[in-house]
Structure 1
């Protein structure tokens, strides 16, 4: 009985560990303000799929900062099958889009 309990707890820990690790993405305050200001967080989260892909998943695509900025302004739905098309976010100034892109790309190093 005790062995079964230990095995059950070990299985639960093993299953929960990837989810816990994935939820540890901290958004820097300056980036959080930009993501909030431009309503990015309505569809994207740092570490979880919402309406759009998680930012850690975008980072895994290995886009350059310039490519991410281009995709903010002119989304390519073919790049993300299974997701609804993103609306062009032409209201985001380039300097802010570049800050967001650089942060997204920084996630690739931390979550690869």
Structure 2
């Protein structure tokens, strides 16, 4: 049984070591689609490199609400950015259902604010 865990650990480390480069260069490039340039924001980059993608998607509800639903619910004000960044760091439950959002206590406040600002910028 221990041998299985050791083998799994070695396989996991081996697979993750084959990364193709620096995330900063991967997400800092602009993308051109039919003469329109889209620049990846800092908040989008932080979300893509965190565990947020396990529970949230841009346009579909997974475990938690979609980012577009969050943007529809909250106006892009400093008060809401502070509220949402606090929710990201502390976690919580009850706003979007009974399943609680996990806390991200190791996340810096400035990064959480950047993420919240990006999410609220998605409002159409």
**TM-score interval, smaller chain:** 0.5 to 0.7
**TM-score, with normalisation over the residues of structure 1?**
0.64
**Using the alignment, how far apart are the partners of 1:65 and 1:29 within structure 2?**
16
Which 5+ residue runs of structure 1 have no aligned equivalent? 1-25
Figure out how many residues of one structure are paired with residues of the other and give that number. Answer: 83
In structure 2, the residue matched to 1:33 is 45
1:45 maps onto 2:61 in alignment = no
CA drift of 1:62 comes to 1.0
Compute the displacement of 1:37 (Å): 2.4
Superposed, 1:1-112 pairs within 5 Å as 28=40, 30-62=42-74, 64-82=80-98, 84-108=99-123, 110=124
**Could you say what secondary structure the match of 2:61 adopts?**
coil
Q: How large is the RMSD of aligned CA atoms in angstroms? A: 2.1
* Partner Cα separation in structure 2 for residue 104 and residue 32 of structure 1: 8
Q: Hey, which of these two has a bigger chunk of strand by percent?
A: 2
Cα separation, partners in 2 of 1:47 and 1:87, compared to 1, 3 Å:
same
